[in-house]
Structure 1
Amino acid sequence: FIGDPKDILDEYTELTGKAPMPPLWSFGFWMSRITYFSEKDGMEVAAKLRENKVPSDVIHFDTGWFGVDWRNDYTFPKDRFPDPARMLKEFKEQGFEISLWQLPYFTPENVLFDELVEKDLVVRDAKGNIPYEDAVLDFTNPATIEWYQDKIKGLLDLGVAVIKVDFGEAAPANGIFHNKKTGFYEHNYYPLRYNKAVADITKEVNGDAFIWARSAWAGSQRYPVHWGGDAATSDNAMSATLRGGLSFGLSGFSFWSHDIGGFTQAAPEDLYARWTPFGMLSSHVRSHGNPPTEPWEYSEEFLNGFRLADNMRYQLMPYVIAQSKHSSENGLPMVRALFVEYPDDPGSWLVDDQYLFGSDILVAPLFESVTSRDVYLPPGQWIDYQTGKTYGGGWHNIAGGEIPVIMLVKSGSVIPHIKLAQSTKDMDWSTLELKVYGNSDSTPSGFVYLPEKEKVETITLRKSGSNYRVVTDPYRSEVNWKVTVVK
């Protein structure tokens, strides 16, 4: 591959596949923890989200929705989920999609274990035994895929929106797979086959090849979205999460998420507050991990701050989906290393604790309990999203705003906003606000994209006195544009 980073990513993803555009609801906030156990738990969370005006689109049931915690059998227990189809319909009516956890490993105590072994749907070793205590699904076997997809289809047919495709990294190294290949050969292919199996049946039933996966391999970007796994609950883990996300994006993945606050233990309020805008300014956003994760379980000050960051994301939804559509078509990451946009700027190659959210917004999270930090800005003028203050290129010490993050917009950018709604399903796309950042560019422009349209468009404005007017409008009769200048 040759060329600038953008060219290389485009060429690489032409070879290995580009990420399809995820559904609109997936870009909303996901509420989760280890774990909700019942319909009652989920409905209480849904009510609290709406009561506290915390915009959200997805509630995730993790390891506890089975009859026995962690024992994956694809079945809602009747004592805790008496009528799953009715429940899922009611969630949807409230503006919530439901995500369910599962994994490809089955303990001997699992009711499906004997069936899987008897039907030879699992990985064996050279002696014909199971390499681990757990049975591991063999996705090189067409019969395994058929059996597995039938189980997943049953859940999707009920109304489940997305399956969490957890684990997948532990393909037995000493395994002999159905295709006669060894574990050494199949180890890295395993997550790709696993991702594909779930994505294919999800697309067949729901229309989108959308999953929530952890493990991946070259080509897994065709089956978004992936998250960063079980991060520790610490400042160091927060910064390491960003470095991992930047690396992932440079591997051809447009979409990526991470567990806000970390996973391994209950997040301290200060860390959770600083991690929240980092999550809200990623392609997909989920609070998940050891409880509590729900913002109302912390102080009123924290809840108000969380809501403020969440509101910002929902108001930025036109920018999020327009940049996402452009990224998916060009093999670009939404969480983007600075040098991807500024390959000729030496300083941009040295920064791994900041990122561009799409092409026009620069984000510098607060990785320590501080109110300001040193921030490197690529060449040009940059406007603070929260204060409106303008900075030139180079190093600056910049304070976070009411939302604890440093967030700047490239001068000359047009950032589309939408009226706040509690769910993406309730958003009014007929009226959008175009915020023009900087007052020196005579013809600022930005990407716009309406849900369900085929392609991303560019909208161009022209300076008229002290204001701007739209001169290139791809959605003439469909959208009423309101123009605001942020100087």
Structure 2
Amino acid sequence: MSSFETESLNQSIDIIREFKKTDNTFFLGARVDRIDPSGRSGLLRWKRFAKKPRFAFNQGDFRFEPTRPWTFPNEYAEEPALPFELSFVSPRTVRLRVKTRPGVLDSRSSVMLDGELPGDEHESWSRSASGDAGEGGETAGPIVWSSPFGSVTIERDPLRFVFRDGQGRKLTGTYHYSDTTCLVNSEPTPFSFVRSTSDMRQALAASFCLSPGEKLYGCGESFTRLDKRGQKIDLWVKDAHGVQTSQMYKPVPLLLSSRGYGMFVHSSAPMTFDMGCSYDEANVLYCADETLDLFFFFGQPKDILSEYTALTGRSPVPPLWSFGLWMSRITYKSEREVRETAGLLRQHRIPCDVLHLDTGWFEKDWQCDYTFSPSRFNDAQTMIADLHRQGFRTSLWQLPYFTPSNELFAEIIDRGLAIRDADGELPTEDAILDFSNPETVRWYQQKLAGLLKLGVGAFKVDFGEAAPRGGQYHSGKSGFYEHNLYPLRYNQAAADITRQTTGEAIIWARSAWAGSQRYPLHWGGDAEISDSAMAASLRGGLSLGLSGFTYWSHDIGGFTRQSPEALYRRWLPFGLLVSHSRCHGAPPKEPWEYGDGFVESFREAAELRYKLMPYIYTQAWLSSKTGHPMIRTLFFEFPDDQTSWTIEDAYLFGSDLLVAPLLEEGSARDVYLPPGRWIDYQSGLHYEGRRWQTIEAGNVPVVLLVRDGAIIPHAALAQHTGDINWDDIQYRRFASVPERTGECGGYYYHPLEQRLYELRDGKDGVYKTGR
């Protein structure tokens, strides 16, 4: 059996299994063998071990024991010395690269990074060393590189990389095999790599120590508990079939720690992060790559995301209309249905900007051929133009998989646009577009461009999680490395042609990988219809925001079946108080299908979003400049408040609004309020922070609070964003002591002027100053 086997097609890969196999060979990081004069690169010596059985008191375990190779010819290093290098990207970012085979460390640029990395910023870092280098460097003292924000120490023998903050407090460090105090010396997995006996493939274990009480966050759109400490997560792009498993549509190999640091593993190979699951004090980042390329960030969450997105790119602001409501279902199948829905939205005075046509706009449902059904859409171009005059943009579903019955199947095969296996055959039943092939990208973009020229505003970039691992891609890589990159390439292809054709940066994508945030926006997949799924959706959105994604949406009310009215009613304000809002899933989704009472509730919630549109768009613009998420964990704004690090059922929408959805039946809920005073948006009641409060929801069934001292810009009611008068904005001042002036502030970004204004209060009202 070869390494990294799975039981069925496109299952996630648990890298830890390779480190458990007793027939594999293990190389444990032993010492620094040599450091060059710069003090930033050299050779690491790796000691060869095997796992041997140990029996004691009727229990069997496996321990590391030194072993010698049995090879011929006798020309292979028993304990190899292999390259490593430290480089400094910024005063807050260190890059550590370690090879597990002989050779030179290359620059390792990739599509995950936003262009080329900046030059080595070692001028910001100062070096100190203790002791004199002995022969081979084995007896020399440690080398310390420091910046104002932290330091990294290279301890030579035994080998350790130790990271400290600017005050000298240890944040974390790598595990040497001699550090274990466990009775079984193979726990925790030390800083090491494994070589598979079956095919010589190698994988790394970057093992770091954890502190008591330390919390970990990130990993992409993970729906499990927000704090990943104690969890094991496979980072493998996969159709999660919902939001209540550990599988992810959007894994991202980025972690943030409550101790003030973050780590990004720059690779597309399969990974497994064991974050204190197998061993409580060890955070082991398993990566099935032969080079460890690790970026280490110093700082609080805001600092870390700004540093990370400076490397991998930030989200441009999507077009203004995309921040309006999207109305959809599975699926509108005719021009008549689309026009009828548009008319009823306006008739019921429900603000809306986008109508999405899902899988049914082709002649055959689900069979993507980029052509409107001639039997059900009489004149698509005229329909799109008419909708535009009513204030609606049109969004269309599509996917990159083509079944044998699809008329495009033969063309894709004949032109060499599909992924092949090592034998030149299709690795699956479908023809799957190979986006690493420039010719495929051109063909695909030509198909989309024709629709964009008809007036289509955006495409739903669905699926993308099933790129075959056994494929051989045009890039020269196998699916082992291309699988996780597939959604990034797919996102880019659709986003680039949309921007080139319409001038607007917008897609609606389900799958993603590190770097996909450059191509907004993404939604949370196929949520179940339950309270637990609503809570899991929130965790996923918060986790994705902590992984570099500014914008996020989800299917309001759940996707899989018809939403129960009571659940839909509670889910609605949560879905309308995130960056982008879409009603989608099994029909019906349109509010009039639930009755007049629900229409009233729906309208009131939608109107709340549209009144807040100046605030929403301002926060979108500000967030895009820093790489920060629009929906934020409480600790993102309050990192010094320990309780805020534990909250996963409420969030900040931008910098000044706190949202606590009703995640179960009832009209009130307990809410933890961070430091400061908070004002109920609907009732006007004031609450003290740094404590739990029981708060009643308002007419819109959600607890919505405003930070004391905030000025929130509001718009007059409009039926779509194009109808908003951006020169007639109301600036609402939220102050716990109304008679005191000069203490409130905020921002307003004028979308037509493309200008940011600072807002301050005074005796005569709110003053606006251009910046």
Q: Does TM, scored on the shorter chain, surpass 0.5?
A: yes
Q: Does 1:470 align with 2:766?
A: yes
Unaligned runs of 5+ in 1: 476-487
The alpha carbon displacement at 1:52 in A equals 0.4
1:127-181 C-alpha deviation (Å, 9 max, x unpaired) = 1111111111000111100100000000001000001000001110111101120
Q: Does 1:458 align with 2:758?
A: yes
Counterpart of 1:211, as a letter, is: I
1:245-301 C-alpha deviation (Å, 9 max, x unpaired) = 000000110000000000000000000000000011010000000000000100222
How far apart, CA to CA, are the structure 1 residues paired with 2:674 and 2:635?
Answer: 9
Q: What pairs with 1:86-485 in structure 2 (closer than 5 Å)? A: 86-393=382-689, 394-438=691-735, 439=738, 440=740, 442-462=742-762, 464=763, 468-474=764-770
How far apart, CA to CA, are the structure 2 residues paired with 1:119 and 1:9?
Answer: 41
More strand by share: 2
The alpha carbon displacement at 1:20 in A equals 0.3
How far apart, CA to CA, are the structure 1 residues paired with 2:310 and 2:755?
Answer: 18
How far apart, CA to CA, are the structure 2 residues paired with 1:309 and 1:209?
Answer: 27
How far apart, CA to CA, are the structure 2 residues paired with 1:471 and 1:157?
Answer: 43
The alpha carbon displacement at 1:3 in A equals 1.4
* 1:355–1:363 CA contact under 8 A, matched in 2: yes
Counterpart of 2:748, as a letter, is: V
Secondary structure in structure 1 of the residue aligned to 2:760:
strand
* 2:755–2:770 CA contact under 8 A, matched in 1: no
For residue 17 of structure 1, the aligned residue among 307, 310, 313 is 313
How far apart, CA to CA, are the structure 1 residues paired with 2:581 and 2:768?
Answer: 32
The alpha carbon displacement at 1:473 in A equals 2.6
Counterpart of 1:202, as a letter, is: T
Which shows bigger deviation, 414-423 or 125-134? 125-134
How far apart, CA to CA, are the structure 1 residues paired with 2:584 and 2:461?
Answer: 15
Which shows bigger deviation, 242-251 or 434-443? 434-443
Counterpart of 2:747, as a letter, is: F
* 1:412–1:441 CA contact under 8 A, matched in 2: no
Secondary structure in structure 1 of the residue aligned to 2:333:
coil
How far apart, CA to CA, are the structure 2 residues paired with 1:103 and 1:456?
Answer: 38
Secondary structure in structure 2 of the residue aligned to 1:278:
helix
Counterpart of 1:419, as a letter, is: A
Q: What pairs with 1:73-84 in structure 2 (closer than 5 Å)? A: 73-84=369-380
1:424-475 C-alpha deviation (Å, 9 max, x unpaired) = 111111111000001256331111011144453321122x2xxx52344329
Secondary structure in structure 2 of the residue aligned to 1:259:
coil
Secondary structure in structure 1 of the residue aligned to 2:765:
strand
Give the TM-score taking structure 2 as reference length: 0.60
1:36-87 C-alpha deviation (Å, 9 max, x unpaired) = 0011110000000000010000000000000100000000122211212111
Secondary structure in structure 2 of the residue aligned to 1:64:
coil
Alignment partner, residue 206 of structure 2:
none
Q: Does 1:59 align with 2:355?
A: yes
How far apart, CA to CA, are the structure 2 residues paired with 1:66 and 1:454?
Answer: 39
Which shows bigger deviation, 279-288 or 431-440? 431-440
* 2:417–2:437 CA contact under 8 A, matched in 1: yes
Identity of aligned residues (%): 57
Rate the CA distance shift 1:472–1:60 in 2: closer, same or farther, 3 A: closer
Secondary structure in structure 1 of the residue aligned to 2:643:
helix
Counterpart of 2:658, as a letter, is: L
* 1:107–1:133 CA contact under 8 A, matched in 2: yes
How far apart, CA to CA, are the structure 1 residues paired with 2:554 and 2:310?
Answer: 26
Counterpart of 1:407, as a letter, is: L
Relative CO higher for 1 or 2, CA cutoff 8 Å, sep ≥ 6?
1
Give the TM-score taking structure 1 as reference length: 0.95
Unaligned runs of 5+ in 2: 1-296
Counterpart of 1:313, as a letter, is: R
How far apart, CA to CA, are the structure 2 residues paired with 1:55 and 1:307?
Answer: 7
Secondary structure in structure 2 of the residue aligned to 1:260:
coil
Secondary structure in structure 2 of the residue aligned to 1:348:
helix
Counterpart of 1:436, as a letter, is: R
How far apart, CA to CA, are the structure 2 residues paired with 1:12 and 1:444?
Answer: 32
How far apart, CA to CA, are the structure 2 residues paired with 1:442 and 1:328?
Answer: 28
Counterpart of 1:461, as a letter, is: D
How far apart, CA to CA, are the structure 2 residues paired with 1:232 and 1:189?
Answer: 27
Secondary structure in structure 2 of the residue aligned to 1:227:
coil
Counterpart of 1:64, as a letter, is: G
How far apart, CA to CA, are the structure 2 residues paired with 1:187 and 1:455?
Answer: 41
How far apart, CA to CA, are the structure 2 residues paired with 1:149 and 1:23?
Answer: 20
* 1:459–1:474 CA contact under 8 A, matched in 2: no
Counterpart of 2:439, as a letter, is: A
* 1:325–1:455 CA contact under 8 A, matched in 2: no
Alignment partner, residue 117 of structure 2:
none
Alignment partner, residue 40 of structure 1:
336
How far apart, CA to CA, are the structure 2 residues paired with 1:81 and 1:48?
Answer: 19
Counterpart of 1:345, as a letter, is: D
Counterpart of 1:51, as a letter, is: Q
1:6-40 C-alpha deviation (Å, 9 max, x unpaired) = 11111111111010011110000000000000111
The alpha carbon displacement at 1:338 in A equals 0.7
Alignment partner, residue 322 of structure 2:
26
Counterpart of 1:328, as a letter, is: S
Alignment partner, residue 482 of structure 1:
none
Alignment partner, residue 485 of structure 1:
none
Counterpart of 1:421, as a letter, is: A
* 1:66–1:74 CA contact under 8 A, matched in 2: yes
How far apart, CA to CA, are the structure 2 residues paired with 1:258 and 1:441?
Answer: 39
How far apart, CA to CA, are the structure 1 residues paired with 2:445 and 2:657?
Answer: 40
* 1:372–1:397 CA contact under 8 A, matched in 2: yes
How far apart, CA to CA, are the structure 2 residues paired with 1:471 and 1:456?
Answer: 13
The alpha carbon displacement at 1:218 in A equals 0.8
* 1:49–1:55 CA contact under 8 A, matched in 2: yes
